[in-house]
Structure 1
Amino acid sequence: METVCIPHQATTFFSRLNTDYLSGHEALASFYQFSPDDAGLDQAIAARKQFPVNRQVLVDTLRRQYRNHTLYEAVSSNIDALADHNTFTICTAHQPNLMTGYLYFIYKIIHAARLARHLQERRPEHRFVPVFYIGSEDADIDELSVFRFNGIRFRWQTEQAGAVGRMSTNDLQPLLGQLTALIGPPGDNAERLKDIIHNAYRQHSTIAEATRYIVNELLGQYGVVVIDPDDAALKQLFLPILHQELFAPRAHELVQQTSQALEQEYGAQAYSRPINLFYLKDDIRERIEQHGDEWRVLRSDIRWNRTGLEQELAAHPERFSPNVILRGLFQESILPNVAFIGGGSEVAYWLQLKPVFDHYKVFFPALVLRQSVLWIDAAASRLQRKTGLSDEELFQSSEKLVRAFVHKHTHKDLALEDTRQQLNQLFDQIKTKAVNVDITLRASAEAALTKMRHQLDTMEKKMMRAEKRNMAEQLSQIYKLKNRLFPNESLQERYDTFMPYFLEQGPAFFDILMEATLPYGNQFLVIRETQPETLTA
């Protein structure tokens, strides 16, 4: 294997906010506290000690949530260690996508484990535990239900509604049958993958439980602890903030102010509401709104006066679910966390939230942009050598690459820029003569020039298309390479699941990622296989 690092800005897939954040641009300095590097994490560790959490409730809850799972020793040891005030967490989060959904689901968790290992080596007097926080209270079934394998897009057709983590796995079985029938070729990796899928979704009754099982089976060897926040004991710890956000909310106003400041240079990512809480019950997950002296759950008949709502909150805190504005606040209230690892959009919306954390005196962690990876298998590596494309050029669009290749290798002059300049000079002369005859002819002369420019553009495109046909065989290799590495012109990590890579590499796939991942993910990784392999269609 070969690993190459590329600056994020060279890939063109990251926003200016993300690249400015990584470079420490002063325009963002007021929106976070700790830089994503060793110095920043040292400061975060020192500061976190002033923000204790209820470790006993945390450990007891994790033990209860894992009661039906066989734990890796590393996971069991890490859960026990969380009872000690010298133990801190490195957290990442995502909703429980079927079959993990996308490669970046795995990359996030691997990154948390890699940063925990890095900090453990630097600060052996402390313990650092990687934590995957299941977004089990999310209700985005369209996001959760889709995954791809073997060129096929699978979608879970279900009538269930509400929080996705609570959904039953019962009606998943036909979809699982279609998937496992395609898994191959036969071998240990295929059998292992089938076993994981079978045990996850047939022996566990909810999506959250199935997701915990998959993460534990794939990544438990690295000590990754999975926490499900949809839990009454954990919500009880968050009760004071839940109470204020229902009866005297502050988050909305504070986020609005920060968003306005952020939008002077960048766009805001998350939208705040006067009450940033959902109500969870059975298959309901709906927003709570206040109307006068009454609080209502949208699209339902549920409503309370103040007394009734206070009684419901005290009796059932688990029925109140934070939205994107308060989710991080809840996370940092229950975990002794020093760093949060998130994708580009997550880092962006966290930058809107610091005043909310300050108001509630909750620790605001270091924000680390998750590791992004492009995996180039041996067949794609051979194609890359044939095309002569550099690693950075791979991130350009197919059309841009094809045009550059044609211009570089053609022996013909396909550009009409000189002709265009000559035409402009000629028409300027014609326009001048026409205007001297009659001023009203100016518009006619300009219209004629515009028409001729359009005809020249059309001719230039036809010449390019003709030369592309002449180079069709060479260009097909570029298209084949781009489709293999950037399906639908998107990042591979936002399209593929881990499954084809696991089938090829087995558990070594995760070990390779673990070794290659940068502790702070501050560059884009290209991981290239070098052994020979036959390219399949």
Structure 2
Amino acid sequence: MKVEAFDAMYPSTSPMIQIEQGFGRWLDYQGMDEVEKRAEEISSRSYGHLRDLVQILKRQQQQFGEISERRAADLDSLERGDAYVMVTGQQVGVYGGPLFAVYKLLAVIKRADEAEKRLGKPVLPIFWMATEDHDFAEINHVFTTQTFSRTLKKDSLSTIPLAGKASVGELEFDRAKLELVQMAQRLLLNETETPHTSQLYGELIDLIQSSHSFAEFFAGMMRRFVGNDFLMFDPHAQDVRALERPMFRRLIEHHDALIDALGHSYEEGMPSIELNREAHLFYHDGTRELLTKIDGVYTTKRGHRFTENELLAELEAHPERFSNNVVSRPLMQDYLFPTLGYIAGPGEIAYWLQLRPLFHELGWKMPLLLPRLGGMIVSANDEKKLRQEGVTVEEYVKQPLPDHPFDDEAFDENLYAYRTLTGAISHEARKHGRRFETKSKHVLERLADEMRAEAKRDHYRLNTRRFHLSTRLSPMDAPQERVLSMVPILNRHGLDIFRRLRSAYEQSDSERCLFRV
């Protein structure tokens, strides 16, 4: 495998580029160059709950798959308060979600190792699974290829009870198992069979059968196909919520100040992104409902009403009934863990830029904000087809090739001489009777139809190459990393492909990489 820097996959205005060039004035720390300053700041803070948190992490790793001896030792260091963490996160999409979820994981491992070398202390890479999220439509699907088409098909799970209303971590995963098996079959049937297909299918079925939640299935994909040198964290566990109680209390008591800070956090030049600026906590009572403060009373759409004192009493009795939104989750992350930095994608970078005033309101600084790996995988077959089309990967990414149109009018013009000959032959045949004229026209028109059909077959063969490039490199005119799942990549390139990607990426100086496999 070869890896090279590949900035062409993002426009120059993308947050993935600008985080390194134009957003510095909205950050407390300027990338990894200031990791020592960040370490000094969080070393002065108290994390009295670390012992209990580490015990939870150890239990969760047993559930999601055992970690390496190195990370087990690092957890012991974290328990003693002698280690840091680097965090990333994502929704728990089926079959690992889009490829960028894997790239986040690879990036957090690399950044943690880099920070560890600089600080001389263990730094644990943690993947925060967004199990508290209730957007089932965000996680319930994959995209599969279709024969003779550049359009991919969205293959989604049926709705299960409370899907879209309750947190994903609370949904009955067992109800989806049969559909997930069928989805795996469709994913692989729509792919070319390779030497890896049979083993991959067996691994996927085993993962489905051994999992009992969407978090377990997601974590299992990462453990089995990426490695065991990182930690998976499920925040929507009851024992985690109990540890979060003091921070939820602060979020409630500082509600007005945090909302005011967020209301004034956007500045000219920041990426435009929608944020709920009126609420930052959810309440769970069978479903997940946003808590909005109106005239001093916290309310939900289903009619729950709490004064601040009532809400604090409810929190004291039932912390498991509370969860964060995208605004308060980074704050909770900073409370729970001695967090050096967060590995973010473009959308996350856009909203994190507005969160610094909220960290300051709580007397903290915002952690390092670092871009995830941006990756594009190109096979030898892809490159062969690019050469046949006369374009480079970079040119193709900037301007994907459209279908070759079939020009009926031009084809008819090319048949002008044939049509003239047909007329002459028909004229001569007529001299021997109308039936000969009719028969000659029929034979010659049928021959013309066959020539048109052959021309269309030749034309289709030209487009087949372009269909291939589109579905592999720019599916549905979107970046490869945002559409394709792990499964087709594993089938095409082997069950160790993501371990090989990790090795190549860690030897690269770039965070935007073209992987030639």
Class of the TM-score when normalised by the shorter of the 2 chains: 0.7 to 0.9
2:119 paired with 1:119: no
Shift of 1:500: 1.7
Shift of 1:303: 2.5
Structure 1 320/127 Cα, relative in aligned 2: closer, same or farther at 3 Å? same
Map residues 68-83 of structure 1 onto 2, 5 A cutoff: 68-74=63-69, 75-83=71-79
User: Structure 1 residue aligned with 2:129, among 123, 129, 134?
Assistant: 134
2:81 paired with 1:85: yes
1:31 partner amino acid: W
1:42 partner amino acid: E
Structure 1 226/491 Cα, relative in aligned 2: closer, same or farther at 3 Å? same
Shift of 1:514: 0.8
Contact 1:376 / 1:528 at 8 angstroms: preserved in 2? yes
Map residues 358-437 of structure 1 onto 2, 5 A cutoff: 358-398=360-400
Q: Distance in 2 between matches of 1:473 and 1:180?
A: 29
Paired residues, number: 452
Structure 1 210/64 Cα, relative in aligned 2: closer, same or farther at 3 Å? same
2:463 paired with 1:496: no
Shift of 1:239: 3.1
**Which residue number in structure 1 is paired with residue 9 of structure 2?**
11
Shift of 1:401: 11
Q: Distance in 2 between matches of 1:80 and 1:378?
A: 45
Contact 1:377 / 1:528 at 8 angstroms: preserved in 2? yes
Shift of 1:326: 0.5
Q: How big is each residue's C-alpha offset from its partner over 1:191-212, in whole Å with a ceiling of 9 and x where there is no partner?
A: 5534443344333322223323
Shift of 1:388: 2.9
Contact 1:3 / 1:525 at 8 angstroms: preserved in 2? yes
1:51 partner amino acid: R
2:289 paired with 1:286: yes
Q: Distance in 2 between matches of 1:20 and 1:350?
A: 13
Q: Distance in 2 between matches of 1:173 and 1:362?
A: 44
2:134 paired with 1:147: no
**Which residue number in structure 1 is paired with residue 40 of structure 2?**
46
**Which residue number in structure 2 is paired with residue 296 of structure 1?**
299
Taking only aligned residues, the RMSD between alpha carbons, in angstroms, comes to: 3.0
2:156 partner amino acid: R
Shift of 1:17: 4.2
Q: Identity over aligned residues, as a percent?
A: 20
Structure 1 21/143 Cα, relative in aligned 2: closer, same or farther at 3 Å? same
**Which residue number in structure 2 is paired with residue 508 of structure 1?**
496
Structure 1 159/470 Cα, relative in aligned 2: closer, same or farther at 3 Å? closer
**Which residue number in structure 2 is paired with residue 448 of structure 1?**
none
Map residues 108-257 of structure 1 onto 2, 5 A cutoff: 108-123=104-119, 125-151=120-146, 152-161=153-162, 162-182=166-186, 183=188, 189-221=196-228, 223-249=229-255, 250-257=257-264
User: Which 10-residue stretch deviates more, 322-331 or 515-524?
Assistant: 515-524
User: Structure 2 residue aligned with 1:338, among 337, 340, 353?
Assistant: 340
2:516 paired with 1:528: yes
TM-score (norm 2): 0.79
TM-score (norm 1): 0.76
Contact 2:5 / 2:510 at 8 angstroms: preserved in 1? no
Map residues 430-445 of structure 1 onto 2, 5 A cutoff: none
Contact 1:34 / 1:366 at 8 angstroms: preserved in 2? yes
2:3 partner amino acid: T
Q: How big is each residue's C-alpha offset from its partner over 1:22-53, in whole Å with a ceiling of 9 and x where there is no partner?
A: 12x3xx3331112223x222332233312342
Contact 1:270 / 1:324 at 8 angstroms: preserved in 2? no
Structure 1 138/253 Cα, relative in aligned 2: closer, same or farther at 3 Å? same
**Which residue number in structure 2 is paired with residue 352 of structure 1?**
354
1:5 partner amino acid: A
**Which residue number in structure 1 is paired with residue 2 of structure 2?**
2
**Which residue number in structure 1 is paired with residue 30 of structure 2?**
35
Structure 1 526/100 Cα, relative in aligned 2: closer, same or farther at 3 Å? same
2:477 partner amino acid: E
User: Which 10-residue stretch deviates more, 345-354 or 47-56?
Assistant: 47-56
**Which residue number in structure 2 is paired with residue 409 of structure 1?**
none
Q: How big is each residue's C-alpha offset from its partner over 1:108-144, in whole Å with a ceiling of 9 and x where there is no partner?
A: 1111112222333444x21121110010011111111
Shift of 1:157: 0.8
User: Which 10-residue stretch deviates more, 175-184 or 500-509?
Assistant: 175-184
Shift of 1:513: 1.3
Contact 2:200 / 2:495 at 8 angstroms: preserved in 1? no
User: Which 10-residue stretch deviates more, 337-346 or 54-63?
Assistant: 54-63
Structure 1 496/252 Cα, relative in aligned 2: closer, same or farther at 3 Å? same
SS in 2 for 1:517: helix
Shift of 1:470: 12
Shift of 1:360: 0.9
Q: Distance in 1 between matches of 2:239 and 2:194?
A: 43
1:133 partner amino acid: W
Q: Distance in 2 between matches of 1:150 and 1:30?
A: 43
Structure 1 521/359 Cα, relative in aligned 2: closer, same or farther at 3 Å? farther
SS in 2 for 1:364: coil
Q: How big is each residue's C-alpha offset from its partner over 1:257-287, in whole Å with a ceiling of 9 and x where there is no partner?
A: 111x2xx1233324133331111233x1111
Structure 1 117/291 Cα, relative in aligned 2: closer, same or farther at 3 Å? closer
Structure 1 20/380 Cα, relative in aligned 2: closer, same or farther at 3 Å? same
Q: How big is each residue's C-alpha offset from its partner over 1:128-167, in whole Å with a ceiling of 9 and x where there is no partner?
A: 2111001001111111111124545320112332101221
Structure 1 224/189 Cα, relative in aligned 2: closer, same or farther at 3 Å? farther
Q: Distance in 2 between matches of 1:265 and 1:177?
A: 47
Structure 1 gaps, min length 5: 404-468, 530-537
Q: Distance in 1 between matches of 2:345 and 2:64?
A: 29
SS in 2 for 1:160: coil
2:92 partner amino acid: P
User: Which 10-residue stretch deviates more, 507-516 or 368-377?
Assistant: 507-516
Q: Distance in 2 between matches of 1:86 and 1:36?
A: 22
User: Which 10-residue stretch deviates more, 168-177 or 332-341?
Assistant: 168-177
Structure 1 292/474 Cα, relative in aligned 2: closer, same or farther at 3 Å? closer
